[in-house]
Chains A and B, each alone.
Chain A
Amino acid sequence: MLNWLIATVTATITETPDSMSLRLDIPGWPGHRAGQHVDVRLTAEDGYSAERSYSIASPPSSNEVELTIVRLDDGEVSPYLADLAVGDQFELRGPIGGYFVWNSGETRPVLLLGGGSGVVPLMSMLRFHAELRTTARMHLIYSARTEVDILYRDELAALSGDTRDVTVTLSREPSSAWSGRRGRIDLDLLSQVTNAASGNLLCLVCGPTPFVEAMADALVALGIEPNNVKTERFGPTNGG
């Protein structure tokens, strides 16, 4: 039985114009694994309550838990969370999930594919990987809409290198100033990673359902065993 815990905001970090991270102090928090999520519950004075799931962005080694919130203007929960300040409190339960996780003992090379805010649980894995100094390669391919939508931009650049690769591709960037990759994640980009790993690759895919479906199909088409492709889907009904 997972009990509801009280989280207190200890810091807020602006990530993009419509998203922010909340650093939380949670008495009784049992620790988490990279990739797990929490359920947040908000309760109105009349007893009406709304619950939403949010992925944990911080690595398991951290004492504090960090969530990244994308504000959905018609959502029931995210606008409230995005307006919280240091010292504010709310209820959550967790950590939840043992399926979509990356373990420190994992020795296979890893391909992380993130669409939009699907990068959040993958960030926990990438941060954990960097702390462990593991020799297993980890490659994050992250698809964002435009340059201003890129979450953790400076940190992603800092984490790249050593045994980690980070590729950011923008699907709808109008400006010509972006010198990085453009367009959706395609077979050509994926095959560069899958070929280098000779197929012995663990793949973790997180994003909106159409993104996850397209990526999982592409990976299987490239010869990755379906058992080695783990997915987590989210959508507006789950966001909000």
Chain B
Amino acid sequence: MDATALDGNVAAGILAHIFYPEMTIAATSCAHCGAVRQLGELVAYVHAPGVILRCSSCDAVLLRVMQNRNRMWLDMRGVSLLQLELPDDDTSA
């Protein structure tokens, strides 16, 4: 792994703009190799504008998210399935 890479924990703040559940424990399935990883385990690159999350098994791009002032972009085509954990007291479903 690139020594400048971080992990998915660094993307949790910006993703909280979009998703209500805690995202570092969300399970992601890689659309390229099928690996299932918690988002906090993914490999993060923060040099580009925004954050890029890559698969910790095959290095494919799972997710790109970026914000510039009052506009956001989210590309999740590398995630074939996302499983979210709702708080215990959530009754909205």
Decide yes or no: A233 and B5 within 8 Å by CB, A2-B13, A51-B13, A53-B13 being known contacts. yes
Apart from the given pairs A1-B16, A1-B20, 5 other A-B contacts in the complex at a CB distance below 8 Å? A47-B69, A53-B9, A98-B85, A99-B25, A209-B2
1/0 contact string of B1-44 vs chain A (CB within 8 Å): 11111111110110011001010110000000000001111000
B7 contacts A231, C-beta separation under 8 Å:
yes
Decide yes or no: A37 and B47 within 8 Å by CB, A1-B20, A99-B41 being known contacts. no
Q: Which residue of A lies closest to B25 (CB)?
A: A98
B46 at the interface (CB under 8 A from A): yes
Shortest beta-carbon distance, A131 to chain B, in Å? 24
A96 contacts B12, C-beta separation under 8 Å:
yes
* A–B complex contacts, Cβ < 8 Å, 8 sampled: A1-B17, A2-B13, A39-B13, A96-B12, A98-B22, A99-B41, A209-B2, A231-B7
Interface centre among B4, B10, B22, B40 (most CB of A within 10 A): B10
B9 contacts A99, C-beta separation under 8 Å:
yes
**CA distance in complex: A93, B13 (Å):** 8
**CA distance in complex: A84, B38 (Å):** 36
Interface centre among B7, B25, B41, B85 (most CB of A within 10 A): B7
Interface residue tally on A, bucketed by range: 20 to 34
B47 contacts A237, C-beta separation under 8 Å:
yes
Interface residue tally on B, bucketed by range: 20 to 34
A98 contacts B7, C-beta separation under 8 Å:
no
Question: CB-CB < 8 A to B17: which residues of A?
Answer: 1-2
**CA distance in complex: A210, B69 (Å):** 33
Decide yes or no: A238 and B6 within 8 Å by CB, A96-B12, A98-B25 being known contacts. yes
A213 at the interface (CB under 8 A from B): yes
Q: Which residues of A contact B (CB under 8 A)?
A: 1-2, 37, 39, 47, 51, 53, 93-94, 96-100, 208-210, 213, 230-238
**CA distance in complex: A238, B46 (Å):** 8
**CA distance in complex: A208, B5 (Å):** 9
Question: CB-CB < 8 A to A231: which residues of B?
Answer: 7, 41
Q: Which residue of A lies closest to B69 (CB)?
A: A47
**CA distance in complex: A52, B85 (Å):** 26
Decide yes or no: A213 and B16 within 8 Å by CB, A98-B22, A232-B9, A237-B6 being known contacts. no
**CA distance in complex: A208, B8 (Å):** 14
Decide yes or no: A209 and B9 within 8 Å by CB, A2-B16, A98-B25, A99-B40 being known contacts. no
**CA distance in complex: A53, B12 (Å):** 10
Question: CB-CB < 8 A to B12: which residues of A?
Answer: 96-97
A97 contacts B3, C-beta separation under 8 Å:
no
Partner of B16, one of A96, A208, A234: A96
